[in-house]
Chain A
Amino acid sequence: MFAAIHDAKLVWLYSGVLFVLVLSTLIGQVLKSRRKTDASRSTIDNLNARIRAWWKMAAIFAAAVTIGKAGALVLFAIISFLAMREYMTLVPTRRGDHLTLFWSFFVIMPLQYYLIGIQWYGFFAIMIPVFAFVFVPTSIAIAGDTEHFLERAAKIQFGIMVCAYCLSHAPALLLLHIPGFEGRDARLLLYLVIVDQMSDVLQYVWGKLIGKHKIAWRVSPNKTWEGFVGGVASATALGTALWWATPFTPLQSAGMSFTICLLGFAGGLVMSAIKRDIGIKDFGVVIEGHGGILDRIDSLCFAAPIFFHLIRYYFVR
């Protein structure tokens, strides 16, 4: 407990985050005092609201990780729960899915985090892709409603995969035993979250500043090539510059952060596509402003498992 505090490099990482938060808050206030048109006003208000949210998220994250592995696991389990709640609300389920959904929320998802907690890698890695994969359609079939059967089974399984399985790989970084890096795992988790979230933020900033050419306007009208290239390049540069906090060399760190950025982009794109598919005519309209956890972590969901396995393959012996 609280071992993290004695890790000087982790404190440096936190200091860096604090510095960026202070700096962005100052910039936000300067922009606010200079705004002229109504259009720029709403953009800047939105920006400042995002910065305020970042302060809260950073504080909660830091508190949880400082408590230790248990804190990180509980935090991510709660995030999984809230994300899955948004997802299942959005996805059209039927009465026959009720018990399956109950199991997903109260048995499968908590079990995933429990398995990480007891460090049972062999089961944690296959519980949802294998056991839940078999359980979900069986349980729906037993309920007896065959209407849209395949769709319902697939949608529920996808939700568990993204919200519980994929995301759980972020705190699972804390159970990796990297030679010469023992007790320093919290830095890896922080590194992943910083690079991934800064990639989102920088893509947004670059897109707002110089964005012109849409990447996939049908899926996500705000994503531009300028934002993508600028955001990924600058977040990769940031990740490379943080190599000293990781077991990586600068070159390896560049490769890792580049991978995180690309996968983060992929996660955001896929979740946008899902929202376009079901959101417009459905519950997405209703919970707007209420939800949003899933929007925040969509990039992390895709980046975390790949980052985890890259490290496990190349750095864990």
Chain B
Amino acid sequence: MSSGIHPIASLLAAIARGISGVQVQWAGCEPDDRQRIYFANHSSHLDFVVLWSALPPDLRAKTRPIAAKDYWQQTPLRLYLAKNVFHAVLLDRGSANKAHHPDEAHFVGRHLIDHMAEALGGENSLILFPEGTRGSGEKIAPFRSGLYHLALHRPDVELVPAYLENLNRILPKGEFLPVPMLSLLTFGKPIRVEADEHKDAFLERAREAVAALRRIGNA
């Protein structure tokens, strides 16, 4: 699946880096060839591209974003960008919630996890925004459960928290024109699901791991 980096992807990454003036800090780990799931707060369309472009080029080729199918399928351009340019893993978000029966929900959820696990394969890494949608940037919304199930499914994959700071001011939800302010991306220390850890406890801990990397308010 990882057939190198699309030239448009490299171009968009360079533009995103220029607009966001992003400063990257590896605060809890170093760039590494091993399989990882990077999970971060989500407040801007730039989030994925900025995070992706912060990785060394050889890792970029093997790192794919998880994206919402309903949004990225809306226009042919979006679909092209998601599928062909960034090799995104398109997920039917919320399909498990729409299910009428608990068993059905379980089945659909299971299918989503399998889909992500398949995308991970033997060498890929994923970029995941567990809030499920873009927020205003002031608060981090509760995490969806996909991260937890995927982590149980693939305990060998490292879970790396990341915080994207100020991107909500550069290109907030609903705006098309960016304002070139400066931003900061911090990678934190990898976490794992502890033995007997409950789903909600883990998801809250994962959320706190992301929030702890925030500079404003934590000084």
Interface size on B, residues (CB 8 A): 18
- For window 166-182 of B, CB contacts with A under 8 Å fall at 166, 169, 172, 175, 177-182
Asked if residues A85 and B23 are in contact (CB atoms below 8 Å), the reply is no
B219 interface contact, C-beta 8 A: yes
- Is the pair A102, B219 in contact by a Cβ cutoff of 8 Å? no
B199 interfacial contact with A, CB 8 Å:
no
List the count of A-B residue pairs having beta carbons below 8 Å apart.
48
Which chain B positions have C-beta within 8 A of A105?
Answer: 179-180
- Asked if A42 is an interface residue, CB under 8 A from chain B, the answer is no
Q: Which of B23, B136, B169, B180 contacts A93 (CB 8 A)?
A: B169
Contacts of B23 in A (CB 8 A): 286-287, 290
The yes or no answer to A30 lying at the interface (CB within 8 A) is no
Q: Is A3 an interface residue (CB 8 A)?
A: no
Q: Indicate with 1 or 0, residue by residue over A135-176, a CB within 8 angstroms of chain B CB atoms.
A: 000000000000000000000000000000000000000000
Q: Is the CB of B179 within 8 A of A98?
A: yes
B216 contacts partner chain A, Cβ-Cβ < 8 Å: yes
Shortest CB distance A158–B (Å)? 16
Q: Which of A207-241 contact B (CB under 8 A)?
A: none
User: Chain B nearest CB: distance from A144 CB in Å?
Assistant: 13
Interface residues of A in 71-111 (CB under 8 A from B): 81, 85-86, 88-89, 93, 95, 98-99, 101-102, 105
Let me know if A281 and B182 touch, CB within 8 A. Answer: no
B180: A residues at CB distance < 8 A: 81, 85, 105
Is B21 a contact partner of A85 (Cβ separation < 8 A)?
yes
CA A175 – CA B172 in complex, angstroms? 40
Chain A residues contacting B47 (CB-CB under 8 Å) are none
Given contacts A283-B166, A286-B165, A286-B184, contact A101 B215 (CB under 8 A): no
A86 to B182 alpha-carbon distance, docked (Å): 7
Q: Is the CB of A285 within 8 A of B219?
A: yes
Interface presence of A247 (CB below 8 A): no
Query: Contacts A89-B166, A98-B172 hold; do A283 and B216 have CB atoms under 8 A apart?
Result: yes
A277 interface hit (Cβ, 8 Å): no
Within 8 A of B (CB), among A268-317: 281-283, 285-287, 290-291
Name the distance in Å between B180's Cβ and chain A's nearest Cβ.
6
Q: How far in angstroms is the closest Cβ of chain B from A57?
A: 19
How close is B164's CB to chain A, nearest CB, in angstroms?
Answer: 13
CB atoms of B177 and A102 under 8 A apart: yes
Task: Contact check, A291 vs B182: say whether CB atoms are below 8 A apart.
Answer: yes
B10, chain A: closest CB distance, angstroms: 24
Would you give the shortest CB distance from B131 to chain A, in whole angstroms? 18
- For B23, B136, B178, B179, the residue with the greatest tally of chain A CB atoms inside 10 Å of its CB is B179
In B140-180, the 8 Å CB interface with A consists of 165-166, 169, 172, 175, 177-180
Q: A93-B169, A95-B136, A95-B172 are in contact. Are A287 and B182 (CB under 8 A)?
A: yes
**Nearest chain B residue, comparing its CB with the CB of A286:** B215
Chain B residues with CB under 8 Å of A102's CB are: 177-179
Q: When the two chains form their complex, are residues A285 and B181 in contact, meaning their CB atoms are under 8 A apart?
A: no
Q: Which residues of A have CB within 8 Å of B172?
A: 95, 98
Residues of A within 8 A of B177 (CB): 98-99, 102
Q: How far is the CB of B44 from chain A (nearest CB, A)?
A: 12
Give the residue among A99, A101, A281, A291 with the most B Cβ atoms within 10 A.
A101
CB-CB < 8 A to A291: which residues of B?
Answer: 182
Task: Tell me the bound Cα distance from A93 to B179 in angstroms.
Answer: 11
Question: Do A85 and B216 touch (CB < 8 A)?
Answer: no
For B168, the closest partner residue in chain A by CB is: A95
Contact partner of B179 (CB less than 8 A), chosen from A88, A283, A290, is A88
Complex formed: what's the CA distance from A102 to B172 in Å? 12
**Shortest distance from the beta carbon of A295 to any chain B beta carbon, whole Å:** 14
Q: Shortest beta-carbon distance, A163 to chain B, in Å?
A: 13
Q: How far is the CA of A291 from the CA of B172 in the complex (A)?
A: 23
Report which A residues bind B (CB closer than 8 A). Answer: 81, 85-86, 88-89, 93, 95, 98-99, 101-102, 105, 281-283, 285-287, 290-291
Q: List 14 A-B contacts (CB under 8 A).
A: A81-B180, A89-B181, A95-B172, A98-B169, A98-B172, A98-B175, A102-B179, A281-B219, A285-B219, A286-B23, A286-B165, A286-B215, A287-B184, A290-B23
Knowing that A93-B169, A105-B179, A281-B219 are A-B contacts, what are 8 other residue pairs whose CB atoms are under 8 Å apart, sorted by A's residue number? A81-B180, A85-B182, A95-B172, A98-B169, A98-B172, A283-B182, A287-B23, A287-B184
Q: Which 7 pairs of residues, A with B, have the shortest CB-CB distance?
A: A101-B179, A89-B181, A89-B182, A102-B177, A286-B215, A290-B23, A286-B184
